[in-house]
């Protein structure tokens, strides 16, 4: 490279979004945040939606702000998985995309299994069963005879919707599509027999493209509006976890990752899907990764419980910072009570402290007496859930995992990182915090030919960012706690 390249990562999470400008000199990467904005559910009548047009307006603002600082050589978009938009033939948006925490999928999994056994669905897709998956959202629409399905010409997952708004091209990116439970992860094709037997319209699924391909060029009207020029739009790991995993600064093979935020995605990088009776029983998933890999992982409810506690307390008049919340948790007595982070009772927003207390009472434990005890319970339970997932990963992969890499915003919670090291009895290497934006940016570099492979990408991450290492402490107490955890969270 003769001059530094400037790549814009448009990164949308469940709480916020931002534009991050990556400046790459051929060896090291620096990030500059150019625009940050809030994101979250919008309740209208009986349903919860995403504000897709408001989000796109903010993405354009991020592009304009980046272009005002200098030339932008490419753009990449990543978002959460499973949610989607429906488009008419002329490209019009058919309604607001529904939020994955909406109640329309309550009870739908059992309805689907009455038509297609869960074993058959897993054999076809390799995806774990959670009621928020695209498959169950679509079936809920079909069961309610939604007129939107009849009017739809194309379905686009959320990152692909914004890529379409930017370029005018209706294609689906592999890593995002793989979260739908409608794609065969072996060859990246849609599973038509599943659509047919469930009465879902197969005509609405678009062509699938792989990470590292160019999707298109920014439309002329947007280029004029944002003063950015005809910039290429790259297919990065458009599912945010795929971009985050790309930026794990690991070497060798004996490691696993936790992409830690609202959700914790814990897994290994595999050369092919791991689809068998054992992985079905453990409810693990096979999602698409960059560099022709599979992210074999477990979805864990993550820091959602803490986020929702914070939100509830703010509604009650005490708006604590995350630093304050972590501090009071650190002062609470350790390893007193546990919750199953993935229990369905914790899925919907609202009233999280009461839900934690009720789970404890229901399982014969003393409910938290204060905020510190509630948050400590959530964090310790999350760390012990990591330990449980680690055991499955080692059993399925047939080898010991020597180090746990934690990336993403959750690495800023040092208490959780230390708990994870203690619970797993493994060193935890935490960082980079901005893994999703970093992976997004560097996959753009791969698309433009400035990097050749994922290995090159990870070398840049190691050159550019310094992680924090946590060694296990007090493991005997955590071993004892794990036995008690399993009794209430089996």
DSSP 14: S
Question: How many other C-beta atoms can be found within 10 angstroms of the C-beta atom of residue 60?
Answer: 21
In whole angstroms, what is the distance from residue 240 CA to residue 259 CA? 9
How many Å is the Cα radius of gyration of the chain? 22
List phi, psi (to 5°) of 47.
Answer: -130, 165
Whether omega before 432 lies within 30 degrees of 0, making that bond cis, reads yes
The residues, any chain, with a CB within 8 Å of residue 277's CB and separated by 6 or more, are: none
Q: Token pair for residue 223?
A: 């280029």
CB distance 267 to 250 below 8 Å: no
Helix (H) and strand (E) counts for the chain? Answer: 19, 21
Please give the positions annotated as active site.
240
In whole angstroms, what is the distance from residue 85 CA to residue 16 CA? 19
In whole angstroms, what is the distance from residue 324 CA to residue 318 CA? 11
In whole angstroms, what is the distance from residue 6 CA to residue 98 CA? 34
CB distance 446 to 452 below 8 Å: yes
CB distance 294 to 270 below 8 Å: yes
């Amino acid at each position: 490279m003769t001059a530094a390249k400037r790549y814009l990562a448009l990164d949308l999470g469940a709480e916020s979004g931002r534009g991050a400008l990556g400046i790459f000199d051929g060896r090291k990467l620096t990030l500059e945040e150019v625009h940050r904005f809030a994101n979250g559910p919008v309740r209208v009548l009986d349903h919860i939606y995403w504000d897709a047009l408001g989000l796109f307006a903010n993405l354009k603002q991020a592009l304009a702000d980046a272009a005002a600082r200098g030339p932008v050589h490419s753009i990449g978009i990543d978002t959460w998985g499973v949610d989607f938009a429906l488009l008419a033939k002329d490209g019009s948006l058919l309604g607001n995309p529904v939020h994955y925490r909406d109640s329309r999928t309550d009870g739908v999994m059992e309805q689907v299994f009455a038509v297609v056994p869960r074993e058959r669905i897993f054999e076809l897709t390799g995806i774990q069963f959670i009621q928020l998956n695209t498959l169950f959202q679509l079936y809920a629409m079909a069961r309610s005879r939604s007129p939107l399905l009849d009017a739809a010409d194309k379905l686009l997952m959320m990152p692909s919707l914004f890529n379409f708004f930017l370029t005018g091209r209706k294609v689906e990116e592999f890593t995002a599509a793989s979260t739908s439970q409608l794609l065969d992860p072996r060859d990246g094709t849609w599973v038509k027999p599943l659509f047919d037997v469930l009465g879902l319209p197969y005509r609405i699924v678009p062509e699938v493209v792989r990470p590292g391909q160019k999707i298109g060029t920014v439309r002329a009207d947007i280029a004029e509006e944002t003063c950015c020029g005809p910039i290429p739009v790259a297919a990065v790991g458009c599912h945010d976890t795929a971009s985050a995993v790309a930026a794990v600064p690991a070497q060798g093979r004996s490691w696993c990752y936790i992409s830690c935020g609202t959700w914790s995605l814990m897994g290994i990088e595999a050369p092919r899907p791991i689809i068998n009776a054992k992985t079905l029983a453990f409810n693990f998933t096979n999602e698409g990764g960059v560099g022709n890999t599979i992210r074999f992982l477990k979805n864990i409810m993550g820091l959602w419980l803490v986020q929702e506690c914070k939100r509830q307390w703010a509604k009650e008049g005490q708006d604590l910072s995350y630093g304050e919340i972590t501090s009071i948790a650190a002062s609470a007595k350790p390893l007193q009570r546990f919750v199953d982070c993935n229990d369905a009772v914790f899925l919907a927003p609202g009233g999280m402290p009461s839900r934690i207390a009720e789970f404890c009472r229901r399982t014969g434990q003393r409910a938290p007496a204060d905020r510190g005890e509630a948050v400590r319970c959530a964090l310790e339970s999350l760390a012990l859930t990591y330990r449980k997932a680690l055991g499955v990963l080692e059993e399925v992969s047939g080898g010991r995992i020597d180090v746990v890499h934690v990336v993403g915003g959750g690495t800023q919670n040092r208490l959780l990182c230390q708990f994870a090291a203690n619970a797993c009895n493994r060193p935890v290497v935490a960082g980079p915090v901005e893994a999703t934006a970093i992976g997004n940016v560097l996959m753009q570099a791969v698309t433009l030919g400035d990097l050749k492979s994922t290995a090159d990408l990870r070398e840049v991450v190691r050159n550019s960012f310094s992680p924090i290492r946590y060694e296990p402490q007090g493991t005997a107490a955590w071993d004892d706690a794990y036995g008690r955890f399993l009794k209430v969270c089996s």
